[in-house]
Structure 1
Amino acid sequence: MRKYFLTFALSMMSLTAFAQADYEKVMSDKIAKLETTMSVEQFQALGNDFDRIAKKETKQWLPAYYAAFAYLQKGRMLMQSGKMSELSVNANAADKYLDQAEAIAGKDNSEIHLLRKMAYSLRMMENPTERYMTDGMKAMDELKKAETLDPNNPRVALIKAEDTYFTPEQYGGSKEKGLQQFKEALEKFNTFKPKTALDPNWGKAEAEYFLSGAAK
């Protein structure tokens, strides 16, 4: 009987280890695609993929986090092509997944607050004149929370640099100031170590893109 229980326990450990390895492989593959995806349709597909993983891995916060990120990237791509009426839909979808991620990871997560900032900013850009004092202010508040929770988070520095770069000089921004902040962000990326192989590690390529002058 003792031998039976030992065999059963070892079998369960093997199954758990296999399931964990499978989860990490699937997640790694999907996260890598987030870095190379260049179309609205592909971001939508990745959002769907991470949604399915989140429904299966109910104790993991990262699948929901990356589903939110996929929708935000989709929204940002739509904004670049001038499809402003679709921004709120994608920001709302991102918020839904961020609620799920926060329910697992807790409220003191810099990465989640940063994506919330991005969602508010995306929603604001659908109608900046009317929404700056509402969504715009909430975006600034979320950015402050993200920075307070982790002052060394390079993605916080990246998004701050973006804001400065695209803000007209009469409102306190400029491309010159933004480029200086991109340099500071890149310095943080060069020393940043994610907690695990699956934890957020995006953004360095974007900082390098702006500093290369390709954004002009």
Structure 2
Amino acid sequence: MTKIITFITLLLVSTLWSQTNYEKEMQDALTTWQDGNSNEAIAKFEKIALVEKKSVLPSYYVSLINTTLAFKTKDFKEMNLFIQKAQKAQDEVNKFLPDDPEVLVLQAMIHTASIVYDPLANGRQLSAVVLNIYKMAEGIAPNNPRVVLSKAEFEIGMAEYFGQDTKPMCEQIAKSIELFANFKPESKFHPTWGIDKATKAIQNCK
């Protein structure tokens, strides 16, 4: 009996330590990213992902950061590399949460980066795919601010390309800002990004 109690106690302590260590490393990686050290943050998230097989959040952030870097770089070879790295991490997330709205948004963003990288080769095919993904995400979580914002931003890009009115999309961006104010993430490590993008986008609308 004593051995059983000791075993259970050790198991609980080990589990608690593991959870605490995971939280500490996740917070450290997020802080590193927020401080502007993207490559270092990616390395930290990749390390966590290797250990924490039950959580897709580390891989999610690897994908998100690489996608963000893809949009920022002016080097097309580098952009393509970021897109490939983002999709590789995204594939791991898609295995477990293919219908999650946050995951759908990120997949749509990766496809959008591919369109920007090579509009002639990817524009027609992937534009329809992106719109379908956003439609799916909107059906699942119509009040998710990242769904509303990202869908509107993509539609603005298309509207500008075809010379169409962007006012309806700008109204959606304004709506996303209201949604951000009331959004509550599932945990402290779940996605909360986007308000800065929404604020910048609404300024561009004006």
Q: Same fold (TM over 0.5)?
A: yes
| 1:109 Cα offset (Å) | 1.0
2:32–2:38 CA contact under 8 A, matched in 1:
no
Match status 1:106 vs 2:97: yes
- C-alpha separation in 1, matches of 2:80 and 2:201: 26
Query: Which residue number in structure 2 is paired with residue 95 of structure 1?
Result: 87
**Identical aligned pairs, as a percentage?**
25
Q: Describe the shift of the 1:108–1:214 C-alpha distance in structure 2 as closer, same or farther (beyond 3 A).
A: closer
2:59 paired with 1:59: no
What CA deviation, in whole Å up to 9, does each residue of 1:162-213 have, x standing for no partner? Answer: 2244441734353x544322211111111111111111111112212334x3
Structure 1 distance, partners of 2:129, 2:64, is 18
Equivalent position of 1:25 in the other structure: 24
- 3-state SS of 1:22 partner: helix
Q: Any conservation in 2 of the 1:166–1:173 contact (CA below 8 Å)?
A: no
Distance in 1 (CA, whole Å) between partners of 2:130 and 2:21 is 36
Kindly state the Cα deviation for residue 89 of structure 1 after the two structures are TM-superposed: 2.2
Deviation at 1:36, TM superposition (A): 4.2
Q: Give, in whole Å, the separation in 2 of the partners of 1:36 and 1:136.
A: 33
- Residues in 1 aligned to 2:141 and 2:195: alpha-carbon distance in whole angstroms: 17
Extract unaligned runs of 5+ from structure 2.
none
Q: Deviations over 1:81-121 (max 9, x none)?
A: x3234333222211111111122x33221111111101111
Question: 1:64, 1:98 within 8 Å by CA — same for their partners in 2?
Answer: yes
Show the 5 A alignment for 1:133-148.
Answer: 133-148=124-139
Q: Deviations over 1:111-135 (max 9, x none)?
A: 1111110111101111213321122
* 2:2 maps to 1:3: yes
Letter in 2 for 1:60: S
In 2, Cα distance between equivalents of 1:35 and 1:137: 33
Query: When the two structures are superposed, what TM-score results if normalisation uses the length of structure 2?
Result: 0.88
Q: Matched residues in 1 for 2:201 and 2:127: separation?
A: 23
For 2:140, the equivalent position in structure 1 comes to 149
Is the contact between residue 61 and residue 102 of structure 1 (CA under 8 Å) also seen in structure 2?
no
Go from structure 1 to structure 2 and tell me whether the alpha carbon gap of 1:215 and 1:170 turns closer, same or farther (over 3 Å shift): closer
CA distance in 2, matches of 1:89, 1:56: 25
**Any stretches of 5+ residues in structure 1 without a counterpart?**
none
TM-score (norm 1): 0.84
